[in-house]
Structure 1
Amino acid sequence: MQSKLATLFFATFAAGSCVLAGASPASATTRYGKGRWISSESGWQNAGVYLEPDDMVRIHYVSGRWTVDYREFPYVSSAGYAWRIDRRIYQGCKILSRHPHGSMIARINNDHYRVGSRALIEARQAGFLQLRVNDADGCLRDNDGAVRVKISVTDY
């Protein structure tokens, strides 16, 4: 009797697990869900995610602060500096000139994107996702801090 009950329990448990696994449509399309720290003191940093054309990558700021000049300017989130502060920073250091210093930016091969505190990006070409602060390589020596982001990729 106990072996029949044990068999029935395990069969029910296994069937229920299969139903639960199939019940989540998000798990069928989401390939990655990674958290990463991105330093303001380094240039382009590989996010550990390879994208195919038409993949959708969602990048979301989680925590942390950084600055493009620890001697002169406050620490900010990945959204970057407000306009009144941004205009006081040397504009020649921006990689994406139309977006604030200190904002997070992304690159997939030669395609550049502003991330800020969050972004949903459709990959136009295959390649690794790279992230960094909007501050050129020659201007990183006075930077400090890092931000943590969550990255999810969905293929449609």
Structure 2
Amino acid sequence: MDATSGWQGTGLTVKAGRRIGIDFQGGGWTVDRRRFPEVGPRGYDSAADQRIWQGCKLDPKLDYGVLLGRVGGGSWFVVGSHDAVTAPDSGPLELRIHDQDHCLVDNAGSLLLKLTY
């Protein structure tokens, strides 16, 4: 998953209620390549998050950089570093970094994930 792109298809089409295995294989991403180091799917810890300008969050309660998912273009959910999630809906699975689309220009990096279904 690329930090400079919004919602990205995974190639998986899932059914509601089914388990999706998500294994973080490596890599890292950042919401500001000039000021903040790369992190994994958990995103930034609260201390680092508080130092980042807060105007680009999709959800002000979540830390920047966390891995998000959605199914079929529906409501998004936190994936983070969980090893599995349950599909809330049926449809194509998409993933992204927690950062608004218009703020992706200063991002960098990518996460390598192994998905099982």
Root-mean-square deviation (CA), in Å? 1.3
How many aligned positions are there?
116
Counterpart amino acid of residue 2 in structure 2: S
Which structure's CA Rg is the greater one?
A: 1
| Larger RCO, structures 1/2 (Cα 8 Å, 6+ apart) | 2
Residue in 1 that maps onto 2:54: 91
Task: Structure 1: state its 5+ residue gaps.
Answer: 1-37
SS of aligned partner of 1:39: coil
Task: Structure 2: state its 5+ residue gaps.
Answer: none
Structure whose residues are more often helix by fraction: 1
Alignment of 1:107-146 (within 5 A): 107-108=70-71, 109-146=73-110
Under a length normalisation based on structure 2, what TM-score does the superposition of the two structures give?
0.91
1:42-90 CA-to-partner distances (Å, cap 9, x unmatched) read 0000011001122111212110011100111111112111111101112
After TM superposition, which residue ranges in structure 1, 4 or more long, deviate above 6 angstroms? none
Under a length normalisation based on structure 1, what TM-score does the superposition of the two structures give?
0.70
Alignment of 1:1-156 (within 5 A): 38-108=1-71, 109-153=73-117
Q: Distance in 2 between matches of 1:115 and 1:124?
A: 12
